[in-house]
Amino acid sequence: ILNVEQSPQSLHVQEGDSTNFTCSFPSSNFYALHWYRWETAKSPEALFVMTLNGDEKKKGRISATLNTKEGYSYLYIKGSQPEDSATYLCASANTGNQFYFGTGTSLTVIP
Amino acid sequence: EAQVTQNPRYLITVTGKKLTVTCSQNMNHEYMSWYRQDPGLGLRQIYYSMNVEVTDKGDVPEGYKVSRKEKRNFPLILESPSPNQTSLYFCASSGTAFQFGEQYFGPGTRLTVT
């Protein structure tokens, strides 16, 4: 069992603010780190898959970085909009095809 | 439209009554997986499959069975459901090895066992 931790657990920001979340995972036997966006009453949707130390990925106003040596990833949202309100999940794959998800960061963007 | 479908979406059943939750994907994906979501816990992997007739246990396989007789289908079987299996279940598929490919999730099945 892998211990994947996300912080903060929840976050409220004003529209237009930039924000970031953290995902911590065991660095040993690292394979990949995934970020998913999960809106209420919907299914999780993939944002990024990162495998290499120093990886940086970007999709619109959302970006992510990866540090496999120290076992953390950051997700950044620039200029938050109400439609960004969702729970953001990270998942680490360290052995085989098993995935371990964190409990997520719930983001609420206040108009 | 590329999608993962699950049926039923909602199910209330009684302890011990065998049930099957179906999962089907139309993307020709090799990799499929089942997860359960419980309050305060992250998604936990139950079983996964890397191809037809190839399945393996995830983190919480006890009380569940799966089969992969066709590439597109990956049913989850609860032979004798118990109240602690009350949960939200997701099926997911990926076109490459789980580690490296994004997963596509089904709409979820909310199961209540009384």
Tens digit of each residue's pLDDT, chain A (111 residues): 678 999 999 999 999 999 999 999 988 888 899 999 999 999 999 999 999 999 999 999 999 999 999 999 999 999 999 999 999 999 998 766 788 999 999 999 999
Answer whether A41 touches B (CB < 8 Å): no
Give the residue among B59, B91, B56 at the shortest CA–CA distance from B76.
B91
CB count in 10 Å sphere of residue B100: 15
Answer whether A60 touches B (CB < 8 Å): no
Q: Which residues numbered 69-108 in A keep a CB inside 8 Å of some CB on B?
A: 89, 91, 93, 96-104
pLDDT of B85 reads 98
Best mutation target, B9, B47, B62, B103, to test chain A (most A CBs within 10 A): B103
B50 CB-near residues (< 8 Å, 6+ apart)? A97, B30, B31, B56, B97
pLDDT of A68 reads 93
pLDDT 10s digit of each residue in chain B, 114 long?
A: 889 999 999 999 999 999 999 999 999 999 999 999 999 898 999 999 999 999 999 999 999 999 999 999 999 999 999 999 999 999 999 987 767 889 999 999 999 999
pLDDT of A96 reads 67
Instruction: Report the alpha-carbon distance of residue A72 to residue A24 in Å, rounded.
Output: 4
A96·B33 Cβ contact <8 A = no
pLDDT of B77 reads 98
At B93, which amino acid appears? Answer: S
Tokens 């960061």 found at: A105
